[in-house]
Homo-oligomer: A and B are copies of this chain.
Amino acid sequence: MKYKLAEVKGGTVTSPQGFLAGATEAAVKYKGRLDLGILYSEKPCASAAVFTGNKVKAAPILVSMKNMEKGKVRAVLANSGCANACTGDKGLKDASETAWLLAAKLGIPRSQVIVASTGVIGTNLPLKRVGAGISKISLTRDGGHKLEKAIMTTDTRPKEIAVKVTDSVGQYVIGGIAKGAGMIHPNMATLLGFITTDASVEISFLRKALKTAIDNTINMVTIDGDTSTNDMVSIMANGASDTEEITGKNGKNFQEALNYVCRFLARSIAADGEGATKLIEVSIEGAKSAADAKKIARTVAGSSLVKSAIHGNDPNWGRIVAALGRGGAAMEEKYVDVFLQDEPMMRQGSPLPFEKNKLSKKLKTGEVKIRVCLNIGSGKAVAWGCDLSQEYVTINSDYTT
């Protein structure tokens, strides 16, 4: 059977068979908005996750890291409005307590539950309201959309996808949701992402496949250079589609489909960065190594000066070159080619003439492409970011007050 991948219209994290979700208004911080949600697989799962690289890890991260060890997680509790980070022992106790409440509701072992939080750092979870919320949530087959709404903070639009894969192992679906917006400079990934599939996948391959997908997609997004204390991406595979078990041997197509889902979520997060009006895609080619290309791609995508220039439709390409030079990768200026919206700006280290007004007009669009050829090797990478607007500052200058 030939490999085929097709997006599922209106797809979300409950599109794969056997997954249920739901959400409620628990008033974690604000009243009148969905802020607490559950994702649940009716069948046992193989599972994997990647967690924040920040040395300061929130309580829900610590609880989830432990519960994910066996790779058998089948339920997620997620809230916005409170990060439960920097909350000491009380925070840890609270996070465990909520995991226990969800496990009790579902009648599964506590070790099969992970918890995820996003919101203000340094405040405690309102345990009573969260507990009441958990018992109130009803789980449905299209509950993924409500769950996505419940984890959004400064996101302006939902980030949801599902793809249907036809493969030699059978037909299966992969669904994913994510939240992003601010404090986004993943070292794992500064965001919450939940991925499901009804394929049957071996745990050790699932772990590897998730890491591979994240490294080249969600970890290549930067909004503001700040890595969060709270964020994670998890995947649960429940085998409900009755595919053959997917392993390292027959997993090439699964990996590709998972990359597709993660790339979609990564681009959605970048395009919806706080205050963003444009998605910026930075492609680096001809670097000495792939690691060098990654490093330099993220540096350019994260440069405040590049981001500000693109916000103002200013073709100030010198800032791209300045960012390249501080990116910590091998490069020689005299070999460098730079393209902005496919227009050549610099060739072999020398500036090329261009029409400033014409190029400025080409920058007035929702997606800006920067392409750099270093011409010293075969390493390549793509990173995603967004423009820096006055609105970003406005959003972030009165978040808690």
Closest to A302 in B: B225
| A118 contacts partner chain B, Cβ-Cβ < 8 Å | no
> Are A394 and B390 in touch, CB under 8 angstroms?
yes
Known: A227-B326, A390-B394. A83 touches B318 (CB 8 A): yes
| A123 contacts partner chain B, Cβ-Cβ < 8 Å | yes
Within 8 A of B (CB), among A361-401: 388-390, 392-401
Q: What's the least CB distance linking A80 to chain B, in Å?
A: 15
> Are A55 and B122 in touch, CB under 8 angstroms?
no
| A193 contacts partner chain B, Cβ-Cβ < 8 Å | no
The oligomer's copy count stands at: 2
> Are B388 and A318 in touch, CB under 8 angstroms?
no
Q: What's the least CB distance linking A300 to chain B, in Å?
A: 11
Provide the bound-state CA to CA distance between A88 and B336, in Å.
Answer: 11
Q: What's the least CB distance linking A224 to chain B, in Å?
A: 4
**B-facing mask of A111-130, CB < 8 A → 1, else 0?**
00000000011110000000
| A350 contacts partner chain B, Cβ-Cβ < 8 Å | yes
Within 8 A of B (CB), among A80-95: 83, 85-90
> Are B393 and A308 in touch, CB under 8 angstroms?
yes
Q: Which of B226, B322, B334, B360 contacts A227 (CB 8 A)?
A: B322
| A235 contacts partner chain B, Cβ-Cβ < 8 Å | no
**B-facing mask of A329-351, CB < 8 A → 1, else 0?**
00101100000000001101111
> Are B325 and A88 in touch, CB under 8 angstroms?
no
Provide the bound-state CA to CA distance between A395 and B309, in Å.
Answer: 9
| A189 contacts partner chain B, Cβ-Cβ < 8 Å | no
Closest to A334 in B: B88
Q: What's the least CB distance linking A309 to chain B, in Å?
A: 6
Q: What's the least CB distance linking A117 to chain B, in Å?
A: 12
Task: Find chain B residues with CB under 8 A from A324 CB.
Answer: 55-56
Q: Which of B87, B228, B322, B390 contacts A56 (CB 8 A)?
A: B322
> Are A326 and B54 in touch, CB under 8 angstroms?
yes
Provide the bound-state CA to CA distance between A183 and B392, in Å.
Answer: 19
| A321 contacts partner chain B, Cβ-Cβ < 8 Å | yes
| A7 contacts partner chain B, Cβ-Cβ < 8 Å | no
**B-facing mask of A304-320, CB < 8 A → 1, else 0?**
11001101111111110
| A136 contacts partner chain B, Cβ-Cβ < 8 Å | no
Task: Find chain B residues with CB under 8 A from A311 CB.
Answer: 393, 397
Closest to A124 in B: B351
Known: A86-B349, A325-B56, A390-B390. A314 touches B225 (CB 8 A): no
Task: Find chain B residues with CB under 8 A from A123 CB.
Answer: 351
| A44 contacts partner chain B, Cβ-Cβ < 8 Å | no
Provide the bound-state CA to CA distance between A396 and B309, in Å.
Answer: 6
Q: What's the least CB distance linking A363 to chain B, in Å?
A: 10
What are the 7 tightest A-B residue pairs by CB atom distance, in nearest-first order?
A121-B318, A312-B397, A56-B325, A308-B396, A88-B350, A390-B390, A227-B326
